[in-house]
Chains A and B, each alone.
Chain A
Amino acid sequence: MHKKRIAFAGLVAVAAMGFTACASGGNAADGGKTTIVWNMWAGDTASEQKLKDQMAVAQKLVGDDITIELQTAPWADYFTKLNTNMASGKVACVTGMNGQRLAGYTEVFDELTDDDLATMGISRDAYNPGALSVMENSGKLYGLPYDTAAMLLFYNADLFAKAGAPVPTNDWTIDDFEKAASEITAKAGAKGFAVSVDEFQWLSLPMAETGLQPVDDSGALDLTNPSFVEAATRYGDLVTKLGVSDAVPSASDSAWTTTQFENGKAAMIIEGTWMASTLTGPDLGFSAGAVRIPRGGEGAYGVALGSGYGIAANCENKDAALKVLGALSSPDVQSVIAQQGGYPAQLASQPEFFTSLPDATRDNLTQAFTAAFEGAVSQRVTDQWTQVATAMPNELVSVYTGQATMSSVLDGLEQRFGK
């Protein structure tokens, strides 16, 4: 009996050791020094280096008593990792969050109060009116945006020249866009456009045409609005009827669209402003530019997107986390972001983005950014948006191959996730 008791006690002790090891949080204090973990997405070494450069500046601002520790995961895995961290109660004190995903993660973050902003030394006036809304939900602020983004139409000027077509302008209409795409497809030995399966990369054109978002003013999913369905069908027709784009070869190949552009196989794509440096850079091997999303019948329409950082609700050292968040959101780090090709969230740092652009693309991108953000409205999402965005690529590939209609796909998504 005695032996059994000892064996049981041993088992409990070993199990307890295991659980204790699992339960260590994302921050630790050691000899008066605190480590604050900063979790953010980065898909490659270059992206991670950019974050490290930002961290180096933030580290100087917070001083030696706090050590910032960067943890990254690629975008495609970031939210899975975050979910796993949430399940084990180990969300990093400073956690990156995308505005479109915030609705499903509000419980993860502490609300940022005006006192918190004061502690961080951050003023609401530092941002454009409405710019903080990308990190807001139900009127509560859950983080500070580090960038502001909108969607742009990127174009390969060499293919336009080859087809003898005039390059896009910021006043282009969707009719102009379709006409040019057809001309290039016919004359330049490349497709005029590359469609996408990613949410805002494909939604932008139907949104621009109708002035509608897939989520209505009340916050409900509105994919089956007849005008929106018609505009979305026109987008799918770029593959099935006009033939100005190839079909996306696999729902799991989300990089296909940019690869088509970078390889010179497609003359135009729609991507976010965060890709501006890459998609107009000197490494492409051709001359590239960007303009705002073409106008529809309702006039120019664009949506402001963005990402930011929040403080985890389970953070044990909120004061230190506030210091780190304040440093990461400071003008100094915003300046680094601008120099790295990101469009900073704070107004004062935005001109620096344009001055740091290469001479060859500065004027073009400055005009495109200015036009894209002019009158841009906040993006709206539902609590189920992650599910919608996850299901979209699988459904859209059927539209591009002509095996399903855009109408049936949007109706199906509405049925599944609209309740």
Chain B
Amino acid sequence: MTKGHRMVTESSIAPRRRRNTIEMRERRQALGFITPAVLGLAVFTVLPVGLAIVMSLFDWPIFGKRAFVGFDNYVTLLTSSPEFWPALRNSAVFTLLYVPLNLVVALGLSLLLGPRIRGRAVFRVLFFIPVVTPIVASALIWRLVLQPDGLLNGVTVSLFGWELPNFLVDQNWAMIAVVAMSVWAGMGYNMLVLTAALEQVPTSVVEAAQIDGARGIRLIVQVLIPLISPAIFFAAVMTIISSMQVFAQPQLLTGGGPGTSTVPLVMFIYNTGFKFQDLGLAAAGAWILFVIIIGITALQFRAQKRWVHYEH
């Protein structure tokens, strides 16, 4: 090996070492930046979640002695709790009504507020306001609108002489009232997501479809919806998760009544844990809810292959 050859070899190794050193330093810096977040996640998320699993296996009163009961809490919920199944049914009914309505309304709004509408930014802000309005304020306003001496009944009685049902205490209407208020409060978020997706659709593709004769509903169903299907998928997944966790709207509008007709699973968990002092049973309920949400989300990810189109 000549001297010159050795120098060439050393000079090619040196930058590689430097690169490795830089990479190492960057890794350390990245680790430094991410550590607070990971610690926060560990202390405030992973640890409580782990504790909730342990808690669900115990008879865990809010005060006093705890006793290991294995899966008894789960068995109690699934076989002998008079309120668990109605609560699960209510969450399912809410989700089945709320998610499609939310997506249809949000998609409709985002299509209506297309590029040809003047001042569409103002409309978007207006429709987004309910999302950022505290849910307590929204629910109180809706309660005033929906109650018998409220705005809605006042208008129909004075204009048409129609007496409307007592929405918030009627077995048939209470859940519909909760869904209607929830759609109003939540449509703005998905509208924004779908609007962003629609604006990414290439104009050339839409024009080509129009030249081929696609118009109106056909253009929307056969061209636009497939093109924004990833955004619809994202919105559907997130909306189903949030609707399975609904709590504030029924709590504030109907208090879960009449009877137990608007008590969703999260309200059942809240009542069991923080009103009736049985944290073990509440934790078991929370884990059943978790499994249901994970299961539904997994199914959605499986099903997406059939209808979600990604550009590759």
Query: Is the pair A79, B275 in contact by a Cβ cutoff of 8 Å?
Result: yes
Contact with B along A338-378 (1 / 0, CB 8 A): 00000000000000000000000000000000000000000
Stretch from B114-122, B232-240, B254-262 at the A interface: B254-262
A386 contacts across to B, CB distance below 8 A: 275-276
Query: Is the pair B275, A403 in contact by a Cβ cutoff of 8 Å?
Result: no
Query: Is the pair A398, B63 in contact by a Cβ cutoff of 8 Å?
Result: no
Query: Is the pair B43, A252 in contact by a Cβ cutoff of 8 Å?
Result: no
Nearest-neighbour CB distance to chain A for B51, whole angstroms, equals 11
Query: Is the pair B254, A107 in contact by a Cβ cutoff of 8 Å?
Result: no
Stretch from A44-52, A81-89, A274-282, A290-298 at the B interface: A81-89
CA separation between A339 and B178, bound complex, in Å? 44
Q: Which residue of chain A is the closest to B83 with respect to CB atoms?
A: A416
Query: Is the pair A80, B43 in contact by a Cβ cutoff of 8 Å?
Result: no
CA separation between A401 and B258, bound complex, in Å? 10
- A119 located at the interface, meaning its Cβ lies under 8 Å from any Cβ of chain B in the complex: no
Nearest-neighbour CB distance to chain B for A168, whole angstroms, equals 26
Nearest-neighbour CB distance to chain A for B274, whole angstroms, equals 5
8 A Cβ contacts from A378-418 to B: 386-387, 390, 393-395, 397-398, 400-401, 403-404, 415-416
Contact with A along B123-159 (1 / 0, CB 8 A): 0000000000000000000010011111000000000
Nearest-neighbour CB distance to chain B for A399, whole angstroms, equals 9
Contact with A along B246-290 (1 / 0, CB 8 A): 000001111111111001000000010111110100000000000
Nearest-neighbour CB distance to chain B for A349, whole angstroms, equals 33
CA separation between A79 and B63, bound complex, in Å? 13
CA separation between A108 and B62, bound complex, in Å? 10
A400 contacts across to B, CB distance below 8 A: 169
CA separation between A14 and B40, bound complex, in Å? 10
- A32 located at the interface, meaning its Cβ lies under 8 Å from any Cβ of chain B in the complex: no
Query: Is the pair A390, B271 in contact by a Cβ cutoff of 8 Å?
Result: yes
Query: Is the pair B254, A108 in contact by a Cβ cutoff of 8 Å?
Result: no
Contact with B along A227-255 (1 / 0, CB 8 A): 00000000000000000001111111100
CA separation between A250 and B169, bound complex, in Å? 6
B148 contacts across to A, CB distance below 8 A: 246-247, 249
B263 contacts across to A, CB distance below 8 A: 394
Query: Is the pair A416, B82 in contact by a Cβ cutoff of 8 Å?
Result: yes
Nearest-neighbour CB distance to chain B for A86, whole angstroms, equals 4
A404 contacts across to B, CB distance below 8 A: 258-259
- A15 located at the interface, meaning its Cβ lies under 8 Å from any Cβ of chain B in the complex: yes
- A31 located at the interface, meaning its Cβ lies under 8 Å from any Cβ of chain B in the complex: no
Nearest-neighbour CB distance to chain A for B72, whole angstroms, equals 17
8 A Cβ contacts from A7-42 to B: 11, 14-15, 18
Query: Is the pair A398, B171 in contact by a Cβ cutoff of 8 Å?
Result: yes
The size class of the interface chain A forms with chain B is: 35 or more
Nearest-neighbour CB distance to chain A for B155, whole angstroms, equals 16
A387 contacts across to B, CB distance below 8 A: 275-276
CA separation between A135 and B277, bound complex, in Å? 20
- A104 located at the interface, meaning its Cβ lies under 8 Å from any Cβ of chain B in the complex: yes
CA separation between A257 and B24, bound complex, in Å? 69
Partner of A397, one of B258, B273, B279: B258
Query: Is the pair B274, A107 in contact by a Cβ cutoff of 8 Å?
Result: no
Given contacts A403-B170, A403-B171, contact A251 B147 (CB under 8 A): no
User: Majority SS of interface residues in chain B?
Assistant: loop
Q: Which residue of chain B is the closest to A397 with respect to CB atoms?
A: B169
- B49 located at the interface, meaning its Cβ lies under 8 Å from any Cβ of chain A in the complex: no
Partner of B143, one of A79, A104, A250, A403: A250
Given contacts A251-B258, A393-B255, contact A401 B276 (CB under 8 A): no
Given contacts A14-B39, A252-B252, contact A395 B257 (CB under 8 A): yes
Partner of B147, one of A79, A83, A249: A249
CA separation between A393 and B43, bound complex, in Å? 39
Query: Is the pair B254, A80 in contact by a Cβ cutoff of 8 Å?
Result: no
CA separation between A394 and B276, bound complex, in Å? 16
Given contacts A14-B39, A87-B279, A387-B276, contact A398 B257 (CB under 8 A): yes
B277 contacts across to A, CB distance below 8 A: 83, 86, 104
Q: Pick the most buried of A84, A247, A251: most chain B CB atoms within 10 A of its CB.
A: A251
Query: Is the pair B259, A247 in contact by a Cβ cutoff of 8 Å?
Result: no
B276 contacts across to A, CB distance below 8 A: 386-387, 390
Partner of A394, one of B47, B258, B273: B258
B169 contacts across to A, CB distance below 8 A: 247-251, 397-398, 400-401
Query: Is the pair B43, A15 in contact by a Cβ cutoff of 8 Å?
Result: yes
A84 contacts across to B, CB distance below 8 A: 274
Given contacts A14-B39, A252-B252, contact A394 B259 (CB under 8 A): yes
- B42 located at the interface, meaning its Cβ lies under 8 Å from any Cβ of chain A in the complex: yes
Show 11 A/B contacts (Cβ-Cβ < 8 Å), sorted by A: A11-B39, A87-B62, A247-B169, A250-B143, A250-B168, A252-B251, A252-B256, A394-B260, A397-B169, A401-B166, A403-B171
Q: Which 5 A-B pairs have the closest CB atoms?
A: A252-B255, A394-B257, A251-B257, A249-B147, A251-B255
Chain B residues in contact with chain A, CB under 8 A?
Answer: 39, 42-43, 47, 62-64, 82, 143, 146-150, 166, 168-171, 251-260, 263, 271, 273-277, 279
